[in-house]
Structure 1
Amino acid sequence: MSTQIKVLCCTWNVGSASPDRSGHVTLDSWLAVTEDEANAPHVCVVCLQEVSLSPLSWISDEWTDEITSSVCRNGRLIRFRRVRQFGIVLLIFIQPFMLPSISKIAEESVATGVGGFLGNKGAAIIRFRLYGKSICIVGSHLSAHPENLEKRNEEFHMICDDVKFSDPKCQLVLEHDYVFWLGDLNYRLCDDVFYAMVVKKVEGNRLDELLGYDQLLQEQQKGTAFVGFSEGHVTFNPTYKYDKETQQYDTSRVPSWCDRVLYRVSDEVPQHVDVTSYTSHPEHCVSDHKPVSAQLELKMAADNMRRLVEFAFPTTWICKQDALIAYSLDSDVVTSSWDWIGLYKTGWHQLSDYVTYVWAPSKRLTRRHHVPLDNDYVPKEPGLYQLIYHSNHYKQVLGISQHFQIELDAIV
């Protein structure tokens, strides 16, 4: 059985700037926020570099809040994970119905700065299985400056070789079925070009001529880095370096395509990836980089689409009255006394946004379970809600209910 998955990958080196809140430009075009459900991505990946540091920014930051507000605004996507490595922030958004199909989640970070310890360069990484297929997402910021080409190559190999996951079938980054690698890779145009020449070719839309000087493409051809990775055809102008708040290139640097989105598919996966869009978004001017996005479609052979927990559709609940949660467990599910069921109001943005919760019973006498919810824990605010089963043993969501109504008591 196969299923089509739409993946949106977005990268931006924000240069320690704050989001533009002037109202003149929004993040929607970069993040492909759309009211058209048919064109909405199933998975949205956002990698930021040079996000300002503050004591609380390890928990959240203004860019994460702004992007989450934009991506989750119409309720189609929720924020699944946030991984931070110094100034790198990697955000993963998904459509909620996919939660029970995601397993074996792990996060890693790699510092590749001075001595391999300084965190100003490196990668934030997340891996998981989706419908049984292994996926690894790497958001990275590699070493700057044209002369540090070999250093960038070394950092690529460091990230690939030093990160080891517990999944025996794919312990290394490149052993996954799908790898998405995005960020400020910092590959420049080689030394044979100079500023005036590049600007003239950009103005003349002779980008293919410039791509012949691109370090990343050259290193791939030589087999020294990113071998086996693919990329959509680059038809947008170099994304670095701009004078901030303008569309003009900074004369101190030769314009280059530093900001990229690459992907790699294992030879053992027969299905292919289509890049339906690959572009920059020059209207954003708070940084000296321009953001980049790529829209990809995966025709994925789904090995496992079953739900391990199935909720019975609840009868209408009444605000502040006792309620009953009914669900059935797959016969193979291992339960724990730390499993819990969260109640979420429609419009929630992340798994921590539950209104209330109840512990799930750990003893399994039958497949079907009924868990009472005391009236003190039933919301007093009417609206649409849904239930989510969280497994402590598997460290994942095992089931999600349909939306159901909680109503005010008709007798007042």
Structure 2
Amino acid sequence: MAAVNLRKPTGLKVRKLSIHVVTWNVASAAPPLDLNDLLQLNNQDLNMDMYVIGLQEMNSGIINRLSDAAFEDPWSSFFMDVLSPLNLIKGNKGGVNICLKVYGYYVSIINCHLPPHMSKNDQRLEHFDRILEMQNFEGHDIPNILDHDLILWFGDMNFRIEDFGLHFVRESIKNQCYIHLWEKDQLSIAKKHDPLLREFQEGPLLFPPTYKFDRNSNDYDTSEKRRKPAWTDRILWRLKRQSQAGPHIPRLPAPYFSLSLRSYVSHMVYSISDHKPVTGTFDLELKPLVSAPLITLMPESLWTMENNMVVSYSSAPDFPSSPWDWIGLYKVGMRHINDYVSYVWVGDNQISFSDNLNQVYMDISAIPKTADQCLLCYFSNNLHSVVGISKPFQIPPRFFLREDPLGEAQLQF
């Protein structure tokens, strides 16, 4: 799930975007009552541009799966109840990878759940490689995932702490002495030997192991199994390797695309699961590769007549338009792309003033006259994505022509 802020403007100068990544194995539990700590909503210094939320073991029971076939899952619904008032909208996929194009750069987001148990380390590493090999976007003119500018990879990776016994591990945690545990962490060990895994970075593990806890407590496993604690829940990232500068290869201006980690923490306050959630907050700094969005919607030129609103927009010269593209009208605070209050197919009722400027008529007869702010989104059928979002606006008053008894036309509002 990715939620994107609609408030930040575009531009050609170097831009800094803040990204908040959440990974949490929720063990089939229902959402908690409060997400403020998890989403850092109480931090007045943070103004997130994007939330990336990956959950594991969500609604794994058969009853929940049948329910999800008819209704939106409660976790996605709950997160968007919190985030939509902040002008963020949801992108949700059933697979393990979401590919985004951010100012012309390719960003891949991978949420995974690798095999459990101490003895399955080789299988975890095999699955890691297999996931990368399978991420080919055939037919969409998208480069191989290893050629993407940024990969954010997170999830319940299930890597364990080798060699040390339960008592030593628990005493180290109690004394906040993690340095010896890092040396036996399976993921840290694998990064030293696996060339591809070594390219992924991770922040310092300065928080307690996030597995396994008794539910509704901060106590590590007291069941008969008494599982050894481990940092199973991780957030990694990989920046694309850049060509080295040489006599005929100019050095790129720095930083033109860089990612810095602001915080990497667990959240002990949440106890509904046997895992604690982990979050990473990043600053992504980049120089845009595109000068304008594919579609620019122009709410400042909106006007209404009777039951129709005229929407103006321009498109980039290389935009792959389709008669199945559509423009939706939304109230600010939308939760999903399907939450439109009205829409129009761009191939219908369209007037073209030039090759680059178009207008369409949208039926607004069913929209009540309220003071709610609205926005427009352009959905591309070929790209399967929203490619243009307007600034918030209010629908202008409708007017129509009425002929008075003297035969003179009068403008009515």
Aligned CA RMSD, in angstroms, stands at 2.5
Match of 2:92 in 1: 82
- TM-superposed CA distance for 1:293, in Å, is 0.2
Which residue of the partner structure matches residue 8 of structure 2? none
Q: Which residue of 2 aligns with 1:273?
A: 259
Q: How many Å apart are 1:245 and its aligned residue?
A: 0.6
Q: 1:41: Cα distance to partner?
A: 1.8
**What is the rounded CA distance, in whole Å, between the counterparts of 1:409 and 1:5 in structure 2?**
38
Aligned to 2:174: 203
Superposition TM-score, scaled by structure 2 size: 0.81
Partner of 1:28: 36
- Secondary structure of 1:257's partner? coil
Q: Does residue 3 of the first structure (1) align with residue 15 of the second (2)?
A: yes
Aligned with residue 257 of structure 1, among 226, 231, 256? 231
Identify the residue that residue 163 of structure 1 maps to in structure 2.
Answer: 135
CA deviation profile, 1:43-89 (whole Å, cap 9, x unmatched):
211111111141242563111111121222322x211x2122xxxxx
1:273–1:297 contact (8 Å) kept in structure 2: yes
Q: Report the secondary structure of 1:135's partner residue.
A: strand
Partner of 1:52: 59
- Matched-pair contact (CA < 8 Å) for 1:34–1:40: no
Residue 329 of structure 2 aligns with an amino acid whose one-letter code is L
AA partner of residue 386 (structure 2): V
Asked if 1 retains the 8 angstrom alpha-carbon contact of 2:328 and 2:376, the reply is yes
> Structure 1 pair 146/139, CA: closer, same or farther in 2 (3 Å)?
same
C-alpha distance after superposition, 1:122-155 (max 9, x if no partner):
xx11112211111111100001011111010111
Encode CA deviations 1:337-388: one digit per residue, 9 max, x unaligned: 2121111111112211111011214775613222223452544433211112
1:316 to partner: Cα distance: 7.1
Distance 1:30 1:135 in 2: 23
- Aligned ranges for residues 7-406 of structure 1 at < 5 Å? 7-21=19-33, 26-34=34-42, 36=44, 39-53=46-60, 54-57=65-68, 60-75=72-87, 77-79=88-90, 81-84=91-94, 109=95, 124-166=96-138, 170-171=143-144, 173-190=145-162, 192-223=163-194, 226-251=197-222, 252-268=226-242, 271-314=257-300, 321-361=307-347, 364=352, 366=354, 367-406=356-395
- Structure 1, residues 3-40: CA drift from partner, whole Å, max 9, x if none? 2121111000011111223xxxx11211223584x622
Q: 1:74 to 1:43 in 2, by over 3 A?
A: closer
Alignment-mate amino acid for residue 50 of structure 2: V
Change (3 A) 1:68 1:266: same
Distance 1:40 1:15, change over 3 A: same
Contact 2:342 2:363 in 1 (8 A): no
- The CA distance in 2 between the partners of 1:375 and 1:235, in whole Å, is 54
Cα pair distance change 1:283/1:34, threshold 3 Å: closer
| SS of structure 1 residue aligned to 2:146 | helix
Decide whether aligned partners of structure 1 residues 409 and 306 sit closer, same or farther in structure 2, where only a CA change above 3 A counts. Answer: closer
3-state SS of the aligned residue for 2:72?
coil
Aligned residue for 2:263, secondary structure, equals: strand
Q: Percent identity?
A: 30
1:226–1:331 Cα change, 3 Å: closer
Give unpaired runs (5+ residues) of structure 2: 1-12, 244-255, 400-411
Q: CA deviation at 1:396?
A: 2.6
Q: CA deviation at 1:330?
A: 3.1
- DSSP-derived class of the 1:33 partner: coil
Deviation at 1:266, TM superposition (A): 0.9
- Structure 2 distance, partners of 1:353, 1:320, is 24
| Counterpart for residue 106 of structure 1 | none
Structure 1, residues 174-231: CA drift from partner, whole Å, max 9, x if none? 33211010000000000x1111111111111101221111110001012276221001
Q: 1:346 to 1:206 in 2, by over 3 A?
A: same
Tell me the distance in 1 between the aligned counterparts of 2:124 and 2:259.
26
Q: Relative to structure 1, is the Cα distance of residues 327 and 377 closer, same or farther in structure 2, using a 3 angstrom cutoff?
A: farther
The answer to whether the Cα contact below 8 Å between 2:302 and 2:309 also exists between their aligned partners in 1 is no
TM-aligned CA distance change 1:5 to 1:283, over 3 Å: same
* Alignment-mate amino acid for residue 82 of structure 1: N
Q: Secondary structure at the match of 2:86?
A: coil
Structure 1, unpaired ranges of 5+: 85-108, 110-123
For the Cα contact (< 8 Å) 1:243–1:249, is it kept in 2?
Answer: yes
Quote the offset at 1:294 in angstroms: 0.3
> How far apart in 2 are the matches of 1:373 and 1:329?
18
Over 4 Å off, 4+ runs:
315-321, 362-365, 407-412
Matched AA of 1:69: D
For residues 220-243 of structure 1, the C-alpha deviation after alignment (integer angstroms, 9 at most, x for no partner) is 012276221001111100000011
User: Which structure has the greater CA radius of gyration?
Assistant: 2
Is the deviation greater in 351-360 or in 138-147? 351-360
Aligned with 2:124: secondary structure? helix
